[in-house]
Chains A and B, each alone.
Chain A
Amino acid sequence: MKRFWAFVRKEFFHIFRDKQTLLILFGMPIAQMLIFGFVISNEIRDVGIAILDQSNDVATQQLTDKILSSGYFLLEDKLSNSDEIEEVFRRGKVKEVIVFEPQFEQNLVRTGKANVQIIADASDANLANLISAYTNGIIQDYVNQKNVLIPKPMQIIPEVRMVYNEQLKGSFMFVPGIMALILMLISAMMTSISIVREKEMGTMEILLASPLKPFQIIVGKVVSYIVLAFTNAVTILLLGNFVFGVPIQGSVILLLLECILYIILALSLGILISSITDNQQVAMMISGFALMLPVILLSGFIFPIENMPIILQWVCQLMPAKWFIIIIKNIMLKGVGFGYVWKETLILIGMTILFLSISLKKFKIRLD
């Protein structure tokens, strides 16, 4: 046992003496939280637009002013004919062109109907959708102001309540997501790389020849990373709670236990990777590359799983991150107890056991 602790201490020294890596390990979750919290949003501001006004009357002038003063749009160009639209789009600054039909005001006053065309550059489909909706909103607002409000009969009033997230905060999505991503990547990468490194440098031989059992070597390596990853988990939770206002409705202890379970799962995945290869570069490629995008895209972190094709939904079931995200959302946001997450927890435990038993089978005690 004393030997084992000495080994654990050695591992801690390994980690803590590499200041650069340590800085990144702790800086990464913080940087990600800040990026998601302050940079990524679905609010538009100062999007470049161009206006093709074929009418040039009071109404179009008022509408143009209203659109430009909304703060969402910035006038980049005034066009004089429709051939120029293609050109401004290709140059890339202008994302939307608003085309007023000739005799706009006349049509509006005489027939009660006028037409505007909103042409959006949909090479960025998200943005196109968003800005055309904003523009339409402003235009409809303008019409509503012009119309005297005639009381309408038989109103059905939809009354909405946003459950669990009254203000529709984005942080309710990204905090659990970042947690799943960071814990998975740091744990899997650190373990796989550090074990493979011992193999590649030849120091694994020394360890295997020592009186420590192979099992103890692995556990000793893993302990330090559990501590590290757990610190990260707590950092993310604290930042999420105090900076981004994500509540922890359920039991904190249950939440932390689930985090530890997930960390152990990620570590066993790391061990599995390290048993496949003897080359740090390969280990890194597998753990960093094969895990990064799938964890981001297939876990429900950014894109809802329900919208994906059925086959892909099945692939998502294999992602540990998916289950972990469900668990922490349930505990943090809905405040439910273990009774609601036991199934997901069992799946995570099952995956851990699976990864561990495969790697135990593959782990070589003998030197080749």
Chain B
Amino acid sequence: MRTILHLLQKEFLQIFRNRMMLPIIFIMPLLQLIILVNAATMEMKNLNIFIVDQDLSVTSRLLVDRFSASPFFRISNWSTSLDEADETMERGKTDIILNIPGNFERDLVQENRAEVQLLVNAINGTVAGIGYSYAASIIGGFNREIITKWYQLPKNVVTLQSISAKPSFWYNPELNYKVFMVPAVLAILITVIGIFLSGLNIVREKELGTIEQINVTPIRKYQFIFGKLVPFLIIGLVELGFGLTIGKILFNIPINGSLFVLFTTASIYLITILGIGLLISTLASTLQQSIFISYFLIMVFMMMSGLFTSVETMPNWAQTINIINPIAYFMKLVRTILLKGSGFRDIYQDIAALVIYGITILSLATWRYRKTV
């Protein structure tokens, strides 16, 4: 036991005596949390719309009014020439062009159908799709309005059947992206800190040659790994605590679950992650190798974890691969504990998976660490 305590003391000293490391470990991630959570929003507002009104009739103006009243669109320009609009789209100043052809009103009244054109800048397919559906629903609404106004519907027409489907969103009624991103970004940040710190640690001792000094002491393998693990675990948990506080104060994220459940889960997860880092560290022979391996793993795991897009939208084989993706487990756990208030009873399966994962990885790391050269 005393050996371990000494090792712990050594590790902590090593971390805290490096002046540049401290701000990187504590301030940078929290700063990132504050900034990045604000960035991660898919809510659409202020799409720049260029109105080309070649009809200049009462009806066309009423339609344009509907667009200027909508919070999603900002009329950036108005003209009667389509070429001018095309030019601004090429320059990237316009997202959507609404082209109302001449004779719009006449066609509508005389021929009962008139066309308008929507030209959408679709380089970002998602934005284009959403923008188009907003625009189409504004036009549809306008259409219903003029029908009732101009054409008093005959009273005795059989009423159409309709089913009203009312959506309600539990745990996050306003679909606030921050509520959903804070836990996710927090999970990523402690993961990155964990893997990078542990992944670089042993290999650094190798490069500097200090590992030999440890190898000639009577320290056992498991003691060595344990001594490396605990400091980073504590740092990770402290980081999580800070992050949650910031999330609560700045973004008012709900903490519905018990903190005990959260921190227990986080500890299990961190141990797994640190184990992966240590394993990489024992495998690599130079820091550079270790850096790129950890980096690669983080990238792949992060992209597949459901951070930006839900796991449910991935193909089945990708969901199967996620069985070995620790970030995917934790991402899910953090969100369910914080937002839904799930307890151990609800999530024991995922926790069990993480425990098995952690034990396997740690035994591998201990086994791979060779005291003999």
Contact = CB atoms under 8 A, between A and B. Distances in A.
Interface of A: 18, 20-21, 24-25, 27-28, 31-32, 35-36, 38-47, 85, 89-92, 95, 108-109, 112-130, 132, 135-136, 139-140, 142-143, 146-147, 150, 152-166, 168-170, 172-173, 185, 189, 193-194, 197, 201, 277, 279-282, 284-286, 288-290, 292-294, 297-298, 302-304, 306-309, 312, 315-316, 326, 329-330, 333-334, 336, 340
B180 A124 contact: yes
A152 B142 CA distance: 14
A129 B200 CA distance: 41
A116 B166 contact: yes
A95 B42 CA distance: 20
A158 B118 contact: yes
Nearest to B300: A31
Contact of A18 (B192, B289, B313): B289
A154 B150 contact: yes
Contacts of A160: 117-120, 132, 136
A129 B175 contact: yes
A303 B20 CA distance: 31
Given A90-B336, A168-B129, 13 more contacts: A20-B292, A40-B308, A113-B163, A117-B168, A124-B310, A124-B335, A155-B143, A157-B113, A159-B118, A164-B122, A168-B128, A279-B20, A284-B196
Contacts of A24: 292-293, 295-296
Which interface residue of A18, A306, A336 has the most chain B CB atoms within 10 A?
A: A306
B171 interface: yes
Contact of A307 (B18, B44, B160, B169): B44
A281 B296 CA distance: 17
Contacts of B202: none
B345 to A, nearest CB: 9
Contacts of B124: 172-173, 304
Nearest to B179: A125
A281 B22 CA distance: 12
Given A31-B296, A156-B116, A168-B125, A197 B165 contact: no
Given A39-B304, A39-B315, A39-B318, A329 B123 contact: yes
A161 B167 contact: no
18 contacts: A28-B299, A35-B303, A43-B313, A89-B170, A92-B336, A128-B169, A129-B175, A142-B163, A150-B160, A159-B118, A160-B136, A161-B119, A165-B128, A281-B18, A282-B20, A284-B287, A297-B39, A304-B127
Interface string B122-157: 111111110010011001001100110011000001
| Interface residues on chain B, size class | 35 or more
The 10 closest A-B pairs by CB, nearest first: A122-B169, A168-B125, A162-B122, A122-B172, A165-B122, A123-B339, A127-B310, A132-B167, A24-B292, A118-B167
Pick the most buried of B116, B118, B124, B316: most chain A CB atoms within 10 A of its CB. B124
A124 B127 CA distance: 19
B114 A125 contact: no
A92 B347 contact: yes
A209 B151 CA distance: 91
Interface stretch (B89-97, B223-231, B242-250): B89-97
B197 to A, nearest CB: 8
A329 B124 CA distance: 10
A92 B115 contact: no
Contacts of B170: 85, 89, 119-122
Nearest to B150: A154
Contacts of B162: 112-114, 143
A266 B321 CA distance: 33
A304 B126 CA distance: 10
B24 A297 contact: no
Contacts of B372: none
Contact of B169 (A21, A27, A113, A120): A120
Interface stretch (B28-36, B262-270, B358-366): B28-36
A127 B46 contact: no
B291 A189 contact: yes
Contacts of B207: 201
Interface in B22-58: 24, 28-29, 32, 35-36, 38-47
